[in-house]
Amino acid sequence: MSRSGFDDAFRRGKVSAEAVEALLAYAETQSRSWFGTRSAESLDKAITLSRQLVARDAAEHTALLARVLYTTARQLLRRGRADEALPRAEEAAALARCLGGPALVVALACLSETLAKLGRRTEAAVLLSEVDKITSG
C-alpha cells in the first residue's frame, strides 16, 4: 500500500509548490491551539522549499514565498513572538511589493500588525495608510 502524506515529496526528493501548500495546511492544523515543534518545523520547511522554488522560477513562485513568510509571521504573532515575526513579515512585504494586489495588502497588514505589537505604532500606521490607498484606489 502506498503511503501518501505531506512529507512524501521530501522522501522522493521533489520540491513542488504542492508540497509547500501541504506544509502550510499541516502547520495551520497543528497551530490551532498551540505553536508547537511540528508546526514550526513545517513552516521552516515551507520557507526553505519556497526559496528553492523561487531560485528556479521567481516569476512563478515569489507569491508563494511571500505567503509562506507572512503566514509564518502571523503564527509567531499569535504566540506573542513578534520579534521573531518581524524579519519574516518584512521580507514578505518586500517580495509582495513586486507583486502588488491582494498579496501586497495582506503582507503590509501583517507587517503593520507586527510593528504595532513591537510598539512601533507610527510605522504601523503608515503601512495601514498605504493599505487603505491600495484598497480604495
In a domain, 125, yes or no: yes
In a domain, 90, yes or no: yes
Quote the CA–CA distance of 28 and 84 in Å, as a whole number: 18
Q: Tell me the CATH number at 51.
A: 1.25.40.10
In a domain, 2, yes or no: no
Quote the CA–CA distance of 73 and 8 in Å, as a whole number: 26
The total number of structural domains that make up the chain: 1
In a domain, 1, yes or no: no
On whether the CB atoms of residues 96 and 106 are closer than 8 A, the answer is yes
On whether the CB atoms of residues 96 and 66 are closer than 8 A, the answer is yes
Could you list the residue range(s) of the whole structural domain that residue 42 is in? 8-136
Q: Give the tens place of pLDDT for each residue, 103-135.
A: 999 999 999 999 999 999 999 999 999 999 999
Q: Give the tens place of pLDDT for each residue, 7-30.
A: 554 555 567 999 999 988 888 777
In a domain, 3, yes or no: no
pTM: 0.85
